[in-house]
């Protein structure tokens, strides 16, 4: 008898175990960085610099859109 088959009330019952695929681990992709952002995201200073420069760019884009209207 196979390991997936069991006897129940004198009858052979097959228990096929479903194999659920393990969820793929989330991949952490670094954010798109421009050269002025620098590449040092391993330090707090690098992360803060990235936040500051991207915020500055976003703010400038908002001002540009407002100027067009």
- How confident is residue 13, by pLDDT bands cut at 50, 70 and 90? low
Cα distance between residue 14 and residue 3, in whole Å: 9
Instruction: Please report the pLDDT score of residue 27 as a whole number.
Output: 56
Domain membership of residue 61 (yes or no) is yes
Domain membership of residue 53 (yes or no) is yes
Instruction: Please report the pLDDT score of residue 69 as a whole number.
Output: 80
Q: Which residue has the higher pLDDT, 12 or 40?
A: 40
Domain membership of residue 43 (yes or no) is yes
Domain membership of residue 68 (yes or no) is yes
Does pLDDT of 18 surpass 70? no
Cα distance between residue 53 and residue 50, in whole Å: 5
Number of structural domains, the chain? 1
Domain membership of residue 67 (yes or no) is yes
Segments forming the whole domain that contains residue 53:
38-69
Domain membership of residue 13 (yes or no) is no
Q: Which residue has the higher pLDDT, 43 or 29?
A: 43
Instruction: Please report the pLDDT score of residue 37 as a whole number.
Output: 46
């Amino acid at each position: 008898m196979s390991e997936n088959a069991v006897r129940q009330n004198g009858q052979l019952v097959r228990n096929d175990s479903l194999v659920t695929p393990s969820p793929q681990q989330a991949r952490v992709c670094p954010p798109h960085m421009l050269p002025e952002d620098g590449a040092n995201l391993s330090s707090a200073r690098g992360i803060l610099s990235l936040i500051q420069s991207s915020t500055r760019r976003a703010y400038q884009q908002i001002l540009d859109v407002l100027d067009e209207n």
